[in-house]
Structure 1
Amino acid sequence: MSTSERFDCHYCKDSLLGKKYIMKEDTQYCTKCYENLFANCCEGCSSPINCNSKDLSYKDRHWHEQCFQCAKCSRSLVDKAFAAKDDLLLCTECYAHDYSSKCSTCKKTIMPGSRKMEYKGNSWHETCFLCHRCQQPIGTKSFIPKDSGYFCVACFEKQFAYQCCACKKVGKSPWLWHFNITHTAITIGGVTYQDKPWHRECFVCIGCRKQLSGQRFTTRENYPYCLECFSNLYAKKCVGCTKPITSLAGAKYISFEERQWHSECFTCVQCSVSLVGRGFLTQRDNILCTDCGREK
């Protein structure tokens, strides 16, 4: 037989004609060489997994089919659900007995692979985490903890939430929680004024309807006003410029005989010199510096 007609093991060069062989990356090997070079070592018995055995693998680890067993009860895990713990493979029953959480409602084990709700160290089956009021599963919807119970948003609002002083509708709770495997806090802003709740969008100036949340404001007869509306409606007017005088904006003013001036407007009607801190004379409704007054 010529060299070109030979069909040999790539490693030991023995002829493979009429023998069993294995191809790897387009290269042929006799079974003995293949097992010596490439066979995986079984995690269970530490023996090579030869060509005649099924090689079961999980996360780069390998087992003979008969060695793929639960590390605790030795039941076969072939074609069955299993869990890994500290490099050990366990059937779902053994894993659940030793490691799974217990449902806070039914007290039964929460089996691996089933949906589990968790909140502040407690766990529930998805179907056991119920609204304290309507007894319906909350699932992944928002919820609100209250005392020792948990409420869906609708039930909490019916039983506990305050009504907005303006629109009389229920105000949102400041703390909502929802499940998405883990829980997340959602805060919804509101306003408290005089110990009463308001929606942020409802707490507005009674004059111009501008939102007052985060803004300076004042009240008159228990109605809130922005500074501009309050000044226009109720502040005294400056004799000099006729604009409102308000101390809320930090303005300084002069008062004389039930009349008021901005400090910068308190000037001689004739020569316009400032009269702040100086003597002055009056002529009917006008005020004059002493120099201009003597000339009169």
Structure 2
Amino acid sequence: MCLRHKPIAPHCLFNYSLCINNIRNKQQKHLIKIQLCAVCSFKDFVNMGCSQSSKSNSSKSAPASTEPKVCAQCKETITGQFLTALGESWHPDHFACEECKQPIKETKFHTNEGKPYCSECHVKLFAKTCFACDKPILDKCVQAMGTNWHEDHFICGGCKCKLVGTQFMDVKGAPFCQKCYLSKHADRCKGCSKPIADKAVVALDAKWHQMCFRCSKCEKPITSEQTFQVDDGKPQCVKC
């Protein structure tokens, strides 16, 4: 069966190396709206294949169009199949990765500063690396403590609970939940020997809860604005 100059549906076009540039209504200048594909009798294929808009970070292939298309890479008129991506038309072999220069075959691709990149090169050049596993982060990235983490890898260094959305403490570059921090790493108050979770008073070569740093005689708290004296290694307010 000779299919030249007969309408071919897009899904059949890939199996038949045929030119469909001449599919026109002889009486009208626009494309025929309803025809039967000469291969599969599929209807309305003209509207489906000849003018496809591209979404962000996706490319689509289309059969030849009667309207002249100019390739964004070589600036020459496209007479056969073309791709639409980044708001422009391309010869399929000319839509290439900015880094490796290989044609991008995937329908999904990545961009950086308006340039297309294949997945492999985009990961190599731009993906952040997880501090915990040293592997690229391809989905959600948690930024904490000056580094980047996979969401599932940003966990407490003690009990291993997830820390995203919670309060945590930095202990020598490792995150800890408050419970583990207080039980294992928090400074102990000189007055009550309990962990200090908030601001501490540093005095007499030790750390104190603010309410625990008090006069050893009158037992009134000594604030940071007050001066104090030392009696037998214990703080005393000036009045006492």
Q: TM-score range by the shorter chain?
A: 0.5 to 0.7
The alignment status of 1:207 with 2:218, answered yes or no, reads yes
Query: 1:82 maps to which residue?
Result: 110
Amino acid at match of 2:226: Q
Q: Are the equivalent residues in 1 in contact too, given 2:154–2:164 (CA < 8 A)?
A: yes
Q: How does 1:182-193 map to 2 (within 5 A)?
A: 189-193=199-203
Structure 1 residue 146: Cα displacement = 3.1
Q: Are the equivalent residues in 2 in contact too, given 1:130–1:136 (CA < 8 A)?
A: yes
Q: How does 1:126-165 map to 2 (within 5 A)?
A: 126-147=151-172, 149-165=174-190
The alignment status of 1:62 with 2:88, answered yes or no, reads yes
Q: Are the equivalent residues in 2 in contact too, given 1:105–1:124 (CA < 8 A)?
A: yes
Query: 2:74 maps to which residue?
Result: 45
Q: Are the equivalent residues in 2 in contact too, given 1:110–1:125 (CA < 8 A)?
A: yes
Equivalenced residue count is: 175
1:46-88 deviations in whole A, cap 9, x for unaligned?
24689x977533xxx633484555343422353x24232x653
Q: Are the equivalent residues in 1 in contact too, given 2:212–2:221 (CA < 8 A)?
A: no
1:142-196 deviations in whole A, cap 9, x for unaligned?
4334346442332122112123234543202xxxxxxxxxxxxxxx532112122
Query: 2:205 maps to which residue?
Result: 195
Bigger share in helix:
1
Please list every run of 5 or more consecutive structure 2 residues that lacks an aligned counterpart in the other structure.
1-26, 32-65
Q: How does 1:110-259 map to 2 (within 5 A)?
A: 110-111=137-138, 113-117=139-143, 119-120=145-146, 123-147=148-172, 149-172=174-197, 189-205=199-215, 207=218, 209-220=220-231, 222-225=234-237, 227=238, 230=239
1:80-116 deviations in whole A, cap 9, x for unaligned?
24232x65311333211344344343343222x4324
Change (3 A) 1:156 1:192: same
Decide which structure has the larger Cα Rg and report it.
1
Please list every run of 5 or more consecutive structure 1 residues that lacks an aligned counterpart in the other structure.
1-16, 22-31, 173-187, 235-296
Distance 1:196 1:209 in 2: 19
The alignment status of 1:19 with 2:29, answered yes or no, reads yes
Change (3 A) 1:126 1:65: farther
Query: 1:93 maps to which residue?
Result: 120
Q: Are the equivalent residues in 2 in contact too, given 1:203–1:213 (CA < 8 A)?
A: no
TM-score, scaled to structure 1: 0.46
Distance 2:163 2:224 in 1: 33
Amino acid at match of 1:76: K
Change (3 A) 1:211 1:83: farther
Amino acid at match of 1:44: Q
Query: 1:106 maps to which residue?
Result: 133
**Which is bigger in relative contact order (C-alpha 8 A, separation at least 6)?**
2
1:180-226 deviations in whole A, cap 9, x for unaligned?
xxxxxxxx53211212211234434463735412322234452432x
Q: Are the equivalent residues in 2 in contact too, given 1:56–1:65 (CA < 8 A)?
A: no
Bigger share in strand:
1
Identity of aligned residues (%): 22
Distance 2:173 2:83 in 1: 54
